[in-house]
């Protein structure tokens, strides 16, 4: 554990974005988890993160936008390492940021052994001599300020970009957890499908995301907010404009949200009896970028009949928790002992 003696860095590399937390500074940077590479030679990286996203579709066919993380797991260790090092250098404003700093990274609880090994490989390729890999739901709870070191059950719902993890935590460990491949990206995809089917308009996922942020809601909207949406007509293929209201977006979002709600209710049904009272008393903790969807907490409260706790910045909970683990040697040791984290 000597590597965790000073200067903690926490990194949460998700399917949609990668965030960096610096000790004494907080969340310093968030970049899209993507890279623009040569179509014929994937090792030829042309741009990373936000630069890659801006250039995508605006260059010739010789380049392609790729994701080193798929469904929360590292799919390309080399590319993940390049991106990890790039965002850390930007955040720390220096080269070789891991040389003297402690690094903690997160991994979904449901990650396979291969995915964990791929993440461990990526940290080494990025220049970290040692790293602490922390289970994401544990990091999210710590980042949200939730006490998980006591013999009491805590229900954490983490809605990320590609996956949602429903976890019951106690004594720094994961008592039970379920991972479902439905996250905020599924919200955007549902909007794309609905607009195409009902309005006859083809839009991009980024346009759907903007629509979700502007007038999207997990509960039936009381106002008739409308926006004019530009896209390509399904039949003619020509540019077209359609009026989209808040009810349209609500109906589009209902399917993936209902799937998450049903999974949570199923998890509650299977909570160990000795932990049921704890969860009834404390409610559930909603974290991740998906928690930012308007009305989501309200919907969960209605459906589960539990109090719903959301931190001030739920999208930052996981990386904040990773940063705290990197900054606190005692905490890191406790998580390792509870099998919620491991050194590589």
Task: State the fold for domain 146-310.
Answer: Nucleotidyltransferase; domain 5 (3.30.420)
Give pLDDT tens digits for 230-263: 999 999 999 999 999 999 999 999 999 999 999 9
Mean pLDDT of the chain: 92
Checking if the pLDDT of 157 tops 90, the result is yes
Give pLDDT tens digits for 320-343: 999 999 999 999 999 999 999 999
Task: State how far the Cα of 306 lies from the Cα of 182, in Å rounded to an integer.
Answer: 22
Domains of the chain, by residue range, sit at 2-33+68-140+317-343, 146-310
Q: What does the pLDDT average to over 282-309?
A: 96
Task: State the fold for domain 2-33+68-140+317-343.
Answer: Nucleotidyltransferase; domain 5 (3.30.420)
Dihedrals φ, ψ of 217, to 5°? -155, 145
Task: State how far the Cα of 123 lies from the Cα of 106, in Å rounded to an integer.
Answer: 11
Asked, colleague to colleague, whether 2-33+68-140+317-343 and 146-310 share their fold, the answer is yes
Sign of CA dihedral 90, 4, 19, 25: negative
Q: What does the pLDDT average to over 222-233?
A: 88
Q: Which stretch of 62-66, 89-93, 158-162, 167-171 has the lowest confidence by average pLDDT?
A: 62-66
Among the listed residues 274, 281, 297, the one whose alpha carbon sits nearest the alpha carbon of residue 170:
274
Tokens of 250: 């609500």
Task: State how far the Cα of 88 lies from the Cα of 20, in Å rounded to an integer.
Answer: 7
- Other CB atoms within a 10 A radius of the CB of residue 180 amount to 18
Tokens of 195: 């607009």
Helix axes 329-337, 317-327, angle to 10 degrees: 110
pLDDT of residue 259: 96
Q: What does the pLDDT average to over 59-83?
A: 88
| Cα distances (Å, whole numbers) of residue 235 to 20, 199, 240 | 44, 11, 11
Q: What does the pLDDT average to over 295-308?
A: 96
State the pTM of this model. 0.91
Task: State how far the Cα of 147 lies from the Cα of 265, in Å rounded to an integer.
Answer: 23
SS3 state of residue 101: coil
Q: What does the pLDDT average to over 181-192?
A: 95
- 71/13: higher pLDDT: 13
Banded model confidence at residue 1, pLDDT cuts 50, 70, 90: very low
pLDDT of residue 3: 42
Q: What does the pLDDT average to over 54-79?
A: 85
pLDDT of residue 155: 96
Banded model confidence at residue 309, pLDDT cuts 50, 70, 90: very high
Task: State how far the Cα of 256 lies from the Cα of 193, in Å rounded to an integer.
Answer: 12
Give pLDDT tens digits for 30-61: 999 999 998 888 788 999 999 998 887 676 67
H or E element that contains 248: helix 246-269
Banded model confidence at residue 4, pLDDT cuts 50, 70, 90: very low
Among the listed residues 124, 93, 133, the one whose alpha carbon sits nearest the alpha carbon of residue 10:
133
Give pLDDT tens digits for 196-209: 999 999 999 889 99
């Amino acid at each position: 554990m000597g590597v965790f003696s000073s200067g903690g860095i926490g990194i949460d590399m998700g399917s949609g974005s990668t965030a960096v937390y610096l000790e004494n500074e907080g969340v310093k940077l968030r970049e899209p988890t993507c890279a623009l590479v040569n179509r014929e030679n994937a090792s030829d990286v042309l741009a990373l993160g936000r630069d890659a996203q801006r250039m995508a579709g605006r260059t010739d066919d010789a380049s392609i936008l790729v994701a080193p993380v798929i469904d929360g797991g590292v799919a390309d260790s080399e590319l993940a390492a390049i991106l990890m090092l790039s965002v850390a250098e930007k955040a720390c404003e220096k080269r070789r940021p891991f040389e003297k700093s402690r690094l903690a990274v997160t991994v979904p609880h449901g990650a396979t052994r291969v995915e964990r090994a791929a993440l461990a490989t990526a940290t080494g390729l990025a220049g970290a001599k040692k790293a602490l890999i922390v289970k994401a739901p544990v990091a999210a709870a710590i980042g949200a300020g939730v006490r998980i070191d006591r013999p009491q059950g805590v229900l954490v719902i983490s809605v990320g970009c590609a996956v949602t993890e429903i976890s019951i935590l106690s004594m720094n460990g994961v008592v039970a957890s379920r991972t479902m491949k439905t996250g905020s990206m599924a919200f955007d995809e549902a909007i794309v499908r609905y607009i195409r089917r009902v309005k006859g308009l083809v839009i991009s996922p980024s346009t759907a995301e903007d629509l979700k942020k502007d007038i999207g809601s997990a509960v039936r909207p009381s106002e008739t907010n409308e926006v004019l949406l530009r896209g390509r007509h399904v039949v003619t293929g020509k540019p077209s404009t359609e009026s989209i209201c808040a009810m349209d977006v609500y109906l589009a979002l209902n399917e993936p949200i209902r799937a998450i709600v049903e999974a949570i209710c199923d998890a509650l049904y299977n909570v160990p009896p000795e932990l049921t009272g704890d969860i009834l008393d404390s409610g559930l903790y909603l974290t991740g970028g998906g928690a930012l969807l308007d009305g989501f907490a309200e919907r969960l409260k209605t459906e589960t009949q539990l109090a719903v706790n959301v931190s001030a910045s739920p999208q930052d909970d996981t990386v904040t928790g990773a940063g705290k683990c990197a900054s606190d040697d005692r905490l890191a040791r406790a998580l390792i002992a509870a099998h919620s984290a491991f050194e590589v």
